[in-house]
Amino acid sequence: MKLADLFTKRKAVFSLEVFPPKKSGSIETIYDTLEALEGLRPDYISVTYGAGGNLADNSTLEIAQKIKNRYHIEPLAHLTCVNSSREQVQKSLDRLEKAGIENILALRGDMNPELPPRLEFHYASELIGTIRAHGGFDIAAACYPEGHPECDSLEQDVEHLRQKVEMGATHLITQLFFDNADFYRFLELVRKKGIDVPIQAGIMPVVNKKQIERMVSMCGASIPASLSKIMNRYGASPEALRDAGINYAISQIIDLLSNSVEGIHLYTMNNPYVARKVSGSIASILECENE
Ligand code: FAD
């Protein structure tokens, strides 16, 4: 199913994100994770893609295919372009199509200081154009409620976002954020600029202080005082921090749903316990939204 159709049917879409196991790990470990996530009945599951653009590493495709064929859940395959040639991207698209994948999250990918970009694709909008020209896929793209860290201003970043939608992105997923006010401000700006495709809020429960500090330093999301207090107070107790982080994320989601957000995208970090806790606490609210 094309995800654009899903957004016409559901008032509030609920999706999960997983990542392939590290190169050193076994691919089988992800199937244990998926087994545990299956019961949460997400509308779709997205699978991240290594920015290296290594065609030999087919794990995103393999996992997306299993999500579709074994678990009968719609997959969204991430695809980055910054380190890929045009030929590699065409091959990836052919493979994805052959595997029956219908939805792609088109990304530039993060710049890797140890891997100079190939300069055949500079921005995600160019990848979106290539995917559209290929045909056969529904295209999603990333957006940034606090602005992308490389961009001088949020306004300018939203201009670039408009290009992604003009090139063919039919739905957007936000970077993680911890202050819903940032999301509402962003949404207002985006709608004012005429971007009218559905936008899913990306939510990541804070369950590990180090992990979140690393994520935040990479993506530039800010930590509000209320969350900072939680992290400082419970940082030394993994269980207390996990429970407080899960509850923080649940409060964020309930506020977003009651303010008519078009979807929630949960960054699961391949942690079924956390995904189960969050999803269990919002199940009846989602049901009520989608009645
Ligand atoms: P772009 O949209 O190309 O934007 C990158 C920067 O270029 C921005 O600052 C933008 O303002 C600027 N820009 C865009 N167009 C122009 C233009 N015409 N002129 C000048 N500047 C311009 N990374 C991975 O490696 N693998 C993943 O699976 C992955 N999944 C993600 C999922 C989500 C939901 C999100 C939010 C991010 C994900 N990322 C992933 C991270 C992403 O690759 C990085 O955030 C990356 O730095 C930007 O990707 P993008 O597609 O948003 O880039």
Residue-wise pLDDT for 226-279, tens only, equals 999 999 999 999 999 999 999 999 999 999 999 999 999 999 999 999 999 999
Residue-wise pLDDT for 77-126, tens only, equals 999 999 999 999 999 999 999 999 999 999 999 888 788 778 899 999 99
Q: What share of the chain is helix, strand, coil (3-state, %, to 5)?
A: 50, 15, 35
Q: Which CATH number fits domain 3-289: 3.40.605.10, 1.10.10.10, 3.20.20.220, 3.20.20.210?
A: 3.20.20.220
| Angle, in degrees to the nearest 10, between helices 124-134 and 154-167 | 10
Percentage of residues of the chain with pLDDT beyond 90: 85
Q: Domain boundaries in the chain? A: 3-289
Report d(CA 173, CA 29) in Å as an integer.
Answer: 26
Looking at the DSSP bridge assignments, the partners of residue 265 are 15, 202
| Residue bearing the CA closest to ligand 1, atom 16 | 160
Q: Tell me the C-alpha to C-alpha distance, in Å, between residue 23 and each of 26, 156, 182, 184.
A: 8, 36, 35, 38
Q: 16 burial class (0-12, 13-18, 19+ CB within 10 angstroms)?
A: buried
Q: How confident is the model at residue 52 (pLDDT cuts 50, 70, 90)?
A: low
Pairing of strands 103-107, 199-203: unpaired
| Residue bearing the CA closest to ligand 1, atom 15 | 160
Pocket of ligand 1 contains residue 162 by CB under 6 Å: no
Q: Residue 214: its pLDDT value, please? A: 87
Q: How confident is the model at residue 51 (pLDDT cuts 50, 70, 90)?
A: low
pLDDT of 56 > 60? The answer is no
Pocket of ligand 1 contains residue 166 by CB under 6 Å: no
17 tagged catalytic: yes
| Residue bearing the CA closest to ligand 1, atom 3 | 123
pLDDT of 283 > 80? The answer is yes
